[in-house]
């Protein structure tokens, strides 16, 4: 029997399927990069597995660490540093980012140690207070010694420089002209992929399973021999490390930091991403970060022009409508899908049909 010749229609379908898959992949990568900062924060909050409303404090620590070590601010305000570094501190990114991550991890342990026995709403209140303390501290640490420049913030922060490539300037690579924003786009995309990979590896590790057990029931986890105290501290420190790195990248990209960038609203947005996507589920957090990062941009470019065309003026500002829809989305999620849009699979519980199909025949006999 002769083999059937390839059908042109089948080949066309395969090409269309490959093209659609390619475009979907590029779209997902683009959306990941748009929400990369918030996504890294959300993944850090996922690592902790705890209700943390002060997560923006670690974000601020990383941002100010980079700003202080990669700008002329300290040399301008401290004569001792000016004598050693007359042109200001311009530390390498390979030094600043690890220091920012380490300092954020230290603050994670400082926050975690006093609140190890707290859970639920009590933990949220304490962490909320910690985040506000850090913000107020940064806002007032301009006297008697000017470390943070107070509400005016720190300017002239160096951009990222890797292997002699300045991400703050337009670069010509292999005949392609890449503006600064494109360079940061690819950098943030790589960092986001690395963060997702690390979280997946952590989730599947022994430590990740210990975090999952503590998140479900810390008393049962302790009865099974898990050192709840040390594991929780490690969760706080690792989660803070993600925030520190994200803050350093934010500082390098903006070239300016001030306490206004680290308000309570930032922590609420990160928590909303985790709750909306799915608590304890990495794909869910990615979905929540993409939705809540792209959603404001869609509103900004659609709501205002539509109102101007219909009513001749703007009745409801896009920012006000965004907060209203945030609240409605959270209420709807809590009522109808309390585990999020893409919840984590229930461990140890198999569907009825699958359980029956996997039952050994000998047991049935």
Residues 6+ positions from 300 with CB-CB distance below 8 Å: 318
Q: What is the pTM of this model?
A: 0.79
Residue 347 forms part of a structural domain: no
Residue 220 forms part of a structural domain: yes
Runs of H (alpha helix) within 145-263: 180-203, 206-216, 218-223, 228-254
DSSP H/E element including 173 = strand 171-173
Question: For position 66, what pLDDT does the model report?
Answer: 92
Nearest to 255 by CA among 100, 88, 66: 66
Q: How many helices (H) and strands (E) does the chain have?
A: 16, 4
- One digit per residue, the tens of pLDDT, for the chain of length 365 reads 455 555 566 666 666 666 555 545 544 544 444 445 555 555 555 554 566 777 788 889 999 999 999 999 998 888 888 888 888 788 888 888 888 889 988 988 888 888 777 777 787 788 888 888 999 999 998 888 899 999 999 998 999 988 888 888 888 877 778 888 888 888 888 888 888 888 888 877 888 888 888 877 778 888 888 888 888 888 888 888 888 888 898 899 889 999 988 888 887 887 788 788 877 777 887 788 778 777 777 777 787 788 888 888 877 777 777 788 778 888 888 888 888 888 877 654 444 444 444 444 444 44
Please answer whether residues 108 and 240 qualify as being in contact, where contact means their C-beta atoms are separated by less than 8 angstroms.
yes
Question: For position 360, what pLDDT does the model report?
Answer: 47
Residue 312 forms part of a structural domain: no
Residue 349 forms part of a structural domain: no
CA distance linking residue 294 with residue 314, whole number of Å? 21
Question: For position 351, what pLDDT does the model report?
Answer: 46
Question: For position 364, what pLDDT does the model report?
Answer: 44
Residue 336 forms part of a structural domain: no
Please return the burial class of 221, using the count of CB atoms within 10 Å of its CB with bins 0-12, 13-18 and 19+: buried
Residue 204: φ, ψ to 5° = -90, 0
Neighbours of 320 (CB within 10 A): 11
Region for residue 280 given its phi and psi (left: phi exceeds 0; alpha: psi -120 to 50; beta: otherwise): left
CA distance linking residue 255 with residue 168, whole number of Å? 9
Longest dimension (CA), the chain: 92
For the four alpha carbons of 227, 220, 336 and 332, in that order, the dihedral sign comes to negative
Show the tokens assigned to 323: 């907060």
CA distances from 274 to 15, 20, 149, 229 (A): 36, 29, 33, 24
CA distances from 237 to 48, 99, 116, 200 (A): 8, 14, 13, 17
Question: For position 7, what pLDDT does the model report?
Answer: 58
Question: For position 154, what pLDDT does the model report?
Answer: 93
Nearest to 41 by CA among 271, 215, 233, 223: 271
SS3 for 176?
strand
Residue 5 forms part of a structural domain: no
Residue 330 forms part of a structural domain: no
Domain span including residue 215 = 34-262
CA distance linking residue 296 with residue 164, whole number of Å? 35
Nearest to 156 by CA among 71, 249, 254: 71
Domain count, the chain: 1
Residue 128 forms part of a structural domain: yes
């Amino acid at each position: 029997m002769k083999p059937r010749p390839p059908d042109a229609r089948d080949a066309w379908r395969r090409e269309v399927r490959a093209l659609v898959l390619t475009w979907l992949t590029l779209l997902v990568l683009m959306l990941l990069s748009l929400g990369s900062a918030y996504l890294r924060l959300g993944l850090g909050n996922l690592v902790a597995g705890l209700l943390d409303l002060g997560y923006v404090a670690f974000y601020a620590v990383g941002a100010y660490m980079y700003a202080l070590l990669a700008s002329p601010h300290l040399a301008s305000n401290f004569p001792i540093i000016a004598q050693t570094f007359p042109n200001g501190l311009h530390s390498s990114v390979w030094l600043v980012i690890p220091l920012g991550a380490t300092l954020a991890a230290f603050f994670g342990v400082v926050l975690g140690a006093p609140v190890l026995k707290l859970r639920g709403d009590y933990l949220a209140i304490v962490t909320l207070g910690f985040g506000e303390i850090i913000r107020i501290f940064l806002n007032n640490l301009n006297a008697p010694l000017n470390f943070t420049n107070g509400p005016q913030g720190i300017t002239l922060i160096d951009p990222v420089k890797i292997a002699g490539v300045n991400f703050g300037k337009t670069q010509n690579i292999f005949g392609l002209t890449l503006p600064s924003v494109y360079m940061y786009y690819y950098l943030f995309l790589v960092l986001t992929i690395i963060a997702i990979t690390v979280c997946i590896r952590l989730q599947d590790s022994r430590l990740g399973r210990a975090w999952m057990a503590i998140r479900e029931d810390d008393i049962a986890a302790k009865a099974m021999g898990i050192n709840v105290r040390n594991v929780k501290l490690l969760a706080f420190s690792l989660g803070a490390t993600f925030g520190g790195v994200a803050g350093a990248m934010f500082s390098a990209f903006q070239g300016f930091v001030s306490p206004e960038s680290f308000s309570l609203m930032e922590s609420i947005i990160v928590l909303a991403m985790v709750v909306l996507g799915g608590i304890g589920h990495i794909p869910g957090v990615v979905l929540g970060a993409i939705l809540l990062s792209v959603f404001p941009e869609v509103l900004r470019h659609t709501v205002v022009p539509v109102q101007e065309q219909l009513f001749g003026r703007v009745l409801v500002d896009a920012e006000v409508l965004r907060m209203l829809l945030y609240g409605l989305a959270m209420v709807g999620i809590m009522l109808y899908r309390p585990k999020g849009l893409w919840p984590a699979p229930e461990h140890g519980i198999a569907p009825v049909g699958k359980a029956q199909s996997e039952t050994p025949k000998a047991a049935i006999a």
